[in-house]
Chain A
Amino acid sequence: MKVLVPVKRVVDANVKVRVNADNTGVDTANLKMAINPFCEIAVEEAVRLKEAGSASEIVVLSIGPKASQEQLRTALALGADRAIHIETDEDLVPLSIAKLIYAVQQKEQTDLVILGKQSIDGDNNQTGQMLAAIGKMPQATFASEVKLDGDKLVVTREIDGGLQTVNLALPAVVTADLRLNEPRYAKLPNIMKAKRKPLESLTPADFDVTLKSHQNIIKVNAPAQRSGGVMVGSVEELVEKLKNEAKVI
């Protein structure tokens, strides 16, 4: 089974972002960037499938600016075999990303695509589902367990209210939830080795994909700030305030 793992370069999860002064977006200049945490879980799962003998080759893919190659090198250091970078400075919507991923999936003939369930910048939670729809593939979103059983994939999904298990025929699309695994750290020798692993650089024009404009960002605002609260000295005071001031109990 050949596995494709798309990864995204995003602002590090622990950085608190600010809206820029002209309200056109979020100021990401000079912020620490990292591989999207859910993508990291997807890479780890692919590596585990390979270690378990289920996956034969892992190809990682990133679509974005030149600097995304850093995140591809990280994925290679974690155990991916080779990388494909589709370079673009445009801010593509998930549908366009899904079309490009599908083009790579077709070119590489991969059996399984594992993605993160959402990127922590756009918070869209769409790309995997859209890829599955475009490729007429079955999907298992929000996966917390993935196993290969013969020629089908058995996936446990996190749903509102509990868990659900489905069987998918390959080729299939899986999106990783937080609970799927605990990603490993890249060791220094692996980081060195990753520098020699193949990284192919392409552009959207190398694929026969028409990308449309789907939306305009009119403005980006900071959310309303909560007014500072009060510290209470005791449980009695807290109960009194909740009863008489906030009137919520």
Chain B
Amino acid sequence: MAILVLAEHDNASLKLDTAKVVACGQAIGGDIDVLVVGHDCGAVASEAQKLSGVRSVLVADSASYANHLAENVSDLMLAIASDYEHVLAAASSFGKDVLPRVAALLDVSQLSEVIEVFSSDTFVRPIYAGNALATVQSLDDKKVMTVRSSAFDAVALDGSAELVTLAQDIAPQVEFVTQSLTESERPELGSASVVVSGGRALGNSENFGILEQLADKLGGALGASRAAVDAGFVPNDLQVGQTGKIVAPDLYIAVGISGAIQHLAGMKDSKVIVAINKDPEAPIFQVADYGLEADLFDAVPQLLAQL
């Protein structure tokens, strides 16, 4: 029985998510191979070789994989899937895009956002925005699943896996046009140990500056509620929630966020939740470990001064 983990990377470095998916693979048990698909991604493969408990790193390096398009990556995965009983990827935008396509090509169902391994065919996953947890047994011969990386601790980087180069190449089906990424010096939202999030109450994008300062002071990442994203205060990729990023940092500070079901779905597994809100009835206070009823424009500068 072997497990294939699809690596998450940007052709330059391996994302921490991969180490967390490997941890999920270890919980299932079996030989773990990591697949690195990309272009000029030798450095990523070397990094992946260090992941603890990995048997081998399979590398498919080709210009047609440069942008990690699902059509190309899934065809390659189908070609090598016969050797594996489990196929895993992080539940990131990349994993969510590619893996269901792989599952359908294999004619098997997929389990999304797995948070716990019960046995090699039975897994736990949240449904209804995290308001229920379903324990699901897969009846398929291959278990294809995306893993919620915030639910697993990354494996160490003390391994020395064998490197295997894959020869497969495919005709690209989709034309890639452009990519524009949000530039940020801050840690990645999904893996940050501290997240400072703002909501509609911030009022405008300039006011998000005080949250940026707070995030920087705490060495954390910046997040936002859907309301703040829809209002254009911050880019979409900062949205925390059912349809945005799912985070579980050590400290989550929600500033001016009411705490709608869809937002809570993305952060309620944080270790410590702090809410700063001037509405004492805001639902966020029901999940917050520490609540402060105050105007954020008074409280946040005070907080900054005291850290």
Contact = CB atoms under 8 A, between A and B. Distances in A.
Interface string A94-133: 1100100000000000000000011011111111111111
B261 interface: yes
Interface string B68-98: 0111001000000000000000001110111
A162 B100 contact: no
A25 to B, nearest CB: 8
B132 A134 contact: no
Given A17-B131, A121-B128, A214-B108, A249 B303 contact: no
Interface in A180-216: 213-216
Contact of B274 (A125, A129, A242): A242
A166 to B, nearest CB: 6
A223 B133 CA distance: 6
B307 interface: yes
A139 B70 contact: yes
Interface in A201-249: 213-223, 226, 228-232, 234-236, 238-239, 241-242, 246, 248-249
A24 to B, nearest CB: 10
A16 B261 contact: yes
Given A13-B262, A178-B243, A95 B130 contact: no
A120 B180 CA distance: 28
A95 B103 contact: yes
B103 A126 contact: yes
Contacts of B182: 161-162
A52 interface: no
Interface of B, helix, strand, loop or mixed by DSSP: mixed
Interface of A, helix, strand, loop or mixed by DSSP: mixed
B136 to A, nearest CB: 5
Contacts of B285: 229, 231
B109 A93 contact: yes
Contacts of A164: 67, 176, 178-180
A155 to B, nearest CB: 9
A166 B176 contact: yes
B233 to A, nearest CB: 14
B180 A163 contact: yes
Given A229-B289, A248-B250, A239 B303 contact: yes
Nearest to A233: B292
A165 B179 contact: yes
B249 to A, nearest CB: 9
A22 interface: no
Contact of A124 (B101, B112, B190, B292): B112
Contacts of A133: 74, 100-105
B112 A123 contact: yes
Nearest to A160: B93
Interface stretch (B35-43, B44-52, B265-273): B265-273
25 contacts: A16-B131, A94-B100, A122-B127, A133-B74, A159-B179, A160-B237, A164-B67, A166-B69, A167-B174, A177-B243, A178-B243, A179-B236, A215-B138, A223-B133, A223-B268, A228-B286, A229-B285, A229-B288, A229-B289, A230-B290, A232-B291, A235-B299, A239-B306, A246-B251, A249-B307
